[in-house]
Amino acid sequence: MTRIAVVGGINQDIVIHVPRIPQPGETVHHGRLGRYAGGKGANQAVAAAHAGATVSMLGAVGTDAAGDDLLRGMAADGVDTTHVARVDSAATGTALIAVDAAGTNSIAVAEGANFEIDPEAVASAVAAIQPVAVIGQREVPDQATLAAFRAAPPGLRVLNVSPVDEAGTIDLSPVDIAVVNEIEAAQLAGGNDEPPALAQAVAGHTHRGCVVTLGGAGLVAHVDGQTHVQPAFPTTVVDTTGAGDAFCGVFTASLAFGHPIEAALRWGQAAGALAAATPGAQPSMPRAEDIRRLVAYAA
């Protein structure tokens, strides 16, 4: 059994598709409203579950209707929500997302219950689950994420160093592989080198390596002493919300299945491309058969 634990944010996403993202003080009309299940942690959990892993979500939601809906949705997608806390001290996390005609987004997040997560409860849950891999991000307090990594048995610990706020303060010493975008990589590395150099610099702070995602330009990874450069899959971008989460969840699941790094990177990229072609976050997490089909088509 390939069991993965994901510790991270669980949000309701309120999305408005607009002709262009407003500038400060500007109002843009003719938007279309959508409500979706989201949160980087929940998105990555669903992505890994769709890829075929057995996934447990660790996080917190409020005792409100949004929390009820999000838990039902994750369960329907095959994610175990036993270890998701219900808190009455804060509302379920909410993200307000503007998406323009090119699929580019702008996001504001009210973390709410996500910041009420208990690191000790997270560590206990991970110890009970005994996962082969743990995924974390930065939509919950870093102490909770690090507690999950430290409580996990020997295996794979993947940290998506996002959102970027104060990224340089995160302790990467328990991390096997860091997944970052180019901005985050530069912040962690303390410089603005080319992506291969950034990947290698960040990799030096982890056990195994770093993946730098470059959007439509593909990715650069430095893992286990080797550098990998891969182009992106062609796709029609509709909404990039959740595309990076699809990559992280499927990339980690693929490694946990025992696939080589090149294959795991390619599967992750295919998942991200498919997610970017579909509106919403969790609704856009692709199924294994769709990822397999795209990888085979592009081979």
pLDDT at 166: 57
pLDDT at 250: 98
245 catalytic, yes or no?
Answer: yes
pLDDT in tens, 94-116: 999 998 998 888 989 999 999 99
Provide mean pLDDT across the span 173-179. 97
Provide mean pLDDT across the span 232-257. 94
Q: Is-above-0.85 flag for pTM?
A: yes
pLDDT in tens, 17-31: 999 999 999 999 999
The correct answer on CATH 3.40.1190.20 for the domain covering 3-298 is: yes
Residues with Cβ within 8 Å of residue 267, at least 6 apart in sequence: 51, 250, 251, 254, 259, 291, 295
Instruction: Locate the domains of the chain by residue range.
Output: 3-298
pLDDT in tens, 124-146: 999 999 999 999 999 999 999 99
pLDDT at 226: 97
Provide mean pLDDT across the span 118-123. 97
- Which residue among the candidates 88, 224, 245, 290 is catalytic per the annotation? 245
